[in-house]
Amino acid sequence: MLDQATKYVATNFIKKDVSRFIPICSVIYGIILSIIGHYTSTTNIGSNLIEAIFIGASAGGASVAGHQTYKQLSKGKSSVEEESVEDTLEDEDELI
């Protein structure tokens, strides 16, 4: 949700594509939220601040990995198969 907000703000107000920086933003958001949670939450988010930072960084990184896994799997094999068929046809045309 924060990543989509970052992308929206960047494309509408800054007028730049920040898609390649979204994973970095996600890790930074995870770190910031884990630090806030470490000091304000009654649950145990690490026994010290360093652990909380690493927990937040891993949570932010895991969210990006989960999203990218879903995105790649939802593309399906059709686009990959179409590309390989086109490459094969081009290779055959070159041989003739």
pLDDT tens digits, one per residue of 57-83: 888 888 778 877 777 788 765 554 555
In percent, how much of the chain has pLDDT > 70? 76
- 94 band by pLDDT with thresholds 50, 70 and 90: low
How many helices (H) and strands (E) in the chain?
4, 0
Angle at 59 between CA 55 and CA 64, to 5 degrees: 150
Average confidence (pLDDT) over 9-30:
80
pTM: 0.62
Cβ neighbours of residue 66 under 8 Å, at least 6 residues apart?
none
Rounded CA separation 46/80 (Å):
43
Q: What digits encode the pLDDT tens for the residues 45-63?
A: 778 889 989 988 888 888 7
Cβ neighbours of residue 5 under 8 Å, at least 6 residues apart?
none
**C-alpha closest to that of 3 among 68, 55, 47:** 68
pLDDT given at position 83: 53
pLDDT given at position 42: 80
